[in-house]
């Protein structure tokens, strides 16, 4: 083992400096592999980009639009049974008159009929 330990000790003294050619090759590789400088993403100011980002992209945005249109349609022309269903769910239905008859008469034209 003495020979081996001597060999190990000799090898440990080897510190060859990198030659110019190796340095050039290494730096050329580095330049070729280097990513470009980080460029911040431009702020999108046109259209509904901010809303799209907020909701999570086009699929979510189209879902929201579809739900809105469906709600509008149901409100304008409720399918048969919706009113009955609402009454069952809420329990009672109430009618609220914003213009009682007595008040309405105040605005009636006395010259009419």
Partner 1 sequence: MSPLPQPPDAMPDAALLVAYANGDPEAARLLAARVLPRVLGQATRMLQDRAEAEDVAQEAMLRLWRIAPDWRQGEAQVTTWLFRVVANLCTDRLRRRKRTGVGLDQIAEPVDQTPGAAAGLQTAARLRALSDALAELPERQAQAVALRHLEGLSNPEIAVIMDISPRAVESLTARGKRALAAILAGRRDALGYDDDGSTDG
Contact residues for partner 1 (CB under 8 A)? Answer: 1-8, 10-12, 14-27, 29-31, 33-38
The upper half-sphere exposure of residue 9, i.e. CA atoms within 13 Å in the direction of its Cβ, equals 6
Task: Please check whether residue 21 is in contact with residue 29, taking contact to mean a CB–CB distance below 8 angstroms.
Answer: no
The least CB distance from residue 79 to partner 1, in Å, is: 56
Closer residue to partner 1 in complex, CB, 18/49: 18
The least CB distance from residue 11 to partner 1, in Å, is: 5
Closer residue to partner 1 in complex, CB, 14/102: 14
Q: How many whole angstroms separate alpha carbon 66 and alpha carbon 74?
A: 12
């Amino acid at each position: 083992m003495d020979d081996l330990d001597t060999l190990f000790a000799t090898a440990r003294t080897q510190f060859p400096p990198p030659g110019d050619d190796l340095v050039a090759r290494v730096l050329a590789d580095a330049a070729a592999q280097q990513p470009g400088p980080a460029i911040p993403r431009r702020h999108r100011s046109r259209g509904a980009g901010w809303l799209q980002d907020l909701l999570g992209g086009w699929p979510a945005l189209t879902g929201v639009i579809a739900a809105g249109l469906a709600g509008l349609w149901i409100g304008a022309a409720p399918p048969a049974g919706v009113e009955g269903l609402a009454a069952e769910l809420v329990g009672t239905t109430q009618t609220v008159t914003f213009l009682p008859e007595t008040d309405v008469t105040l605005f009636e034209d006395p010259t009419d009929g």
